[in-house]
Structure 1
């Protein structure tokens, strides 16, 4: 952990509206901002319930993929160019909100993803950007980073810029009430993983630790309840807050090995990001435990299990995820065993995350994690 006096920059949307019914304020906010041509970026499910936004019949790109790739982004940008919007609204999970960020900085700019990918290369926006999450997982609504997959290399292309920060984030837990229990479990584990990996990162900071630990505690308290009863609005609100806290952690600190090792499961085998994180989570938590023993014990306490040894840490993390109804074996999700070495090479190359893992993991270490999870 870095010292308390270590410099840290935190960027937040200038306006965050949290709580049940807050989505009903969107139309008035757009009107006050002088926006009359909103353009919605959504997945197919959320494209079918645009009435929740209270905007009439806005222009729409409703084909966001669960793991958006470069062609998906290009199609969304083309639709936005045709719509000539003055506001872009991400409506959905992390994939929709990530594409909305990229669409907002690319529309009217004449630039492609290769021109803006990486840190601080995106142009200033010509449109307003609003994020409305409908799952409690990524925390993308409060972040400046977006990921899309290159279909040729299967690698995640990261873009990060202050220009991709939303003007308004509306976090309304009621919008998550229709999320099935399996998706609730997976997205909740994603929120938890953001917090755990930031909490144990070499770049961890006391300011971010406070958000991270609260986020983990919220997941431990409310995720089992929300999986058991999707109409439990206190649990839905708790998870929405946990996801927001996870998003807060991503900007200044970011994730580490858990996400690096989970990425090939999505980019190569189209496994949902939350489920991929769940399958990898207990293995990485146990692998890192000796490097950050005190923080690992705090993670275990927040989630309700003993983490006093590597074995207890793994068993507790695995049991927490499995009790949510998640199948924790890679083989059950169609991952071919002969692809594990290629996945390990690909994951090991994601240095932007692995370099800040609390323990150095070799390619062989990562392969061993995949084999144990298989």
Structure 2
């Protein structure tokens, strides 16, 4: 864990507009910047409500963003960008849409290809404005500098990190999340929780980020159940939107750990939604890490409003019940994952060193396989 004097850079969008009705800020920004050719990157549902953005000019829409987008999905979006020649890119949707919007914004000029920018700080620049508008409360991608896309040849996620992918404007309007169904609300809410918990307990944890992490956990504890029970609860939706944003702030300077590494193969190999994968895995990695970060783990549980035992098994039971009671499916078998794939998944997860090296406790391949077996 880093001390208070350890170096850290906090990189956040130049403007964050938060609150009910702030979607109007998108059109205002576009007019201020003189945008005439906006390109919206969205999933099919949000592509059908692009009018909510109120964008000026000749609007183009790529409305085919897939859950867990892959390289062919990105290439389709880039083809639309090439034809449109946008001066403004808007990510409108969940983390998948916002991640693709980041990549389209930096690759749309054609000067660089995806293979040139995979990894940290390889992007050379950006010629267009970038606005991010989340419609779910989970990824916090609107506040960060990373984008993920799956390589179908290897079934692994490729991560691009660059400050050039940071939004000029992030508009977090909780009203846009009112249509998210209960099960998705639950899973994405635990994804936001996992971002905060993993950053708080990471080997790279820093007091400058801990305040976002702990408050994000408290917000999830206070509001997630309410939003699942009543999706029209505006206060609960706002609390989750803020928790998601705080989780995004945690990702830039600290990033995630074992929870996300173990969850990734569920998405890349079996197309399980990212939020659901993270929620299913959450109790397993929290309990595994507890011996290395006992006090912080107990603080996490207290912030969630749960019992805070000293025993990892009891911590597992508590958080498993918490997720299951929200309606999250906690069995890999029920999600169509075949048992014979577990060992391959464990090998793939163990290779994600950019995340596992942040974990507070060393996690071997056999231990990952044991988690999958327990979750099966």
Query: Normalising TM by the smaller chain, what interval?
Result: over 0.9
Shift of 1:116: 1.1
Q: Write out aligned runs for 1:45-84 (5 A).
A: 45-55=45-55, 58-84=59-85
Q: Answer yes or no: is the 8 Å Cα contact 1:109–1:123 preserved in 2.
A: no
Residue in 1 aligned with 2:6? Answer: 6
**Secondary structure, counterpart of 2:149 in structure 1:** strand
Instruction: Work out the CA distance in 2 between the residues paired with 1:101 and 1:204.
Output: 26
Residue in 2 aligned with 1:367? Answer: 369
Residue in 2 aligned with 1:123? Answer: 124
Instruction: Work out the CA distance in 2 between the residues paired with 1:123 and 1:65.
Output: 27
Residue in 2 aligned with 1:192? Answer: 193
Q: Answer yes or no: is the 8 Å Cα contact 1:303–1:320 preserved in 2.
A: no
Q: Does 1:32 align with 2:35?
A: no
**Secondary structure, counterpart of 2:4 in structure 1:** coil
Q: Does 1:325 align with 2:324?
A: no
Q: Write out aligned runs for 1:162-181 (5 A).
A: 162-181=163-182
- 1:301-324 residue CA offsets vs partner (Å, 9 max, x unmatched): 112222321111001110110011
Q: Write out aligned runs for 1:291-370 (5 A).
A: 291-308=292-309, 309-370=311-372
CA RMSD in angstroms, aligned pairs only: 0.8
- 1:64-116 residue CA offsets vs partner (Å, 9 max, x unmatched): 00010000001101101100100000000000000000000001133210011
Residue in 2 aligned with 1:202? Answer: 203
- 1:5-62 residue CA offsets vs partner (Å, 9 max, x unmatched): 1010011111110000000121121111111111000001100111111126720000
Shift of 1:327: 1.2
Instruction: Work out the CA distance in 2 between the residues paired with 1:13 and 1:148.
Output: 22
- 1:179-206 residue CA offsets vs partner (Å, 9 max, x unmatched): 1111111110110000000000000000
Q: Answer yes or no: is the 8 Å Cα contact 1:106–1:123 preserved in 2.
A: no
Q: TM-score of the superposition, structure 1-length normalised?
A: 0.99
Q: Answer yes or no: is the 8 Å Cα contact 1:3–1:205 preserved in 2.
A: yes
Instruction: Work out the CA distance in 2 between the residues paired with 1:108 and 1:193.
Output: 35
- 1:134-157 residue CA offsets vs partner (Å, 9 max, x unmatched): 000000001000000000100000
Instruction: Work out the CA distance in 2 between the residues paired with 1:66 and 1:354.
Output: 24
Residue in 2 aligned with 1:272? Answer: 273
**Secondary structure, counterpart of 1:13 in structure 2:** coil
Shift of 1:266: 0.2
Larger mean Cα displacement after TM superposition, 26-35 or 216-225:
26-35
Q: TM-score of the superposition, structure 2-length normalised?
A: 0.98
Instruction: Work out the CA distance in 2 between the residues paired with 1:249 and 1:152.
Output: 31
Instruction: Work out the CA distance in 2 between the residues paired with 1:330 and 1:58.
Output: 42
Residue in 2 aligned with 1:100? Answer: 101
Instruction: Work out the CA distance in 1 between the residues paired with 2:28 and 2:69.
Output: 31
**Secondary structure, counterpart of 1:22 in structure 2:** coil
Gaps of 5+ in 2: none
Instruction: Work out the CA distance in 1 between the residues paired with 2:121 and 2:313.
Output: 42
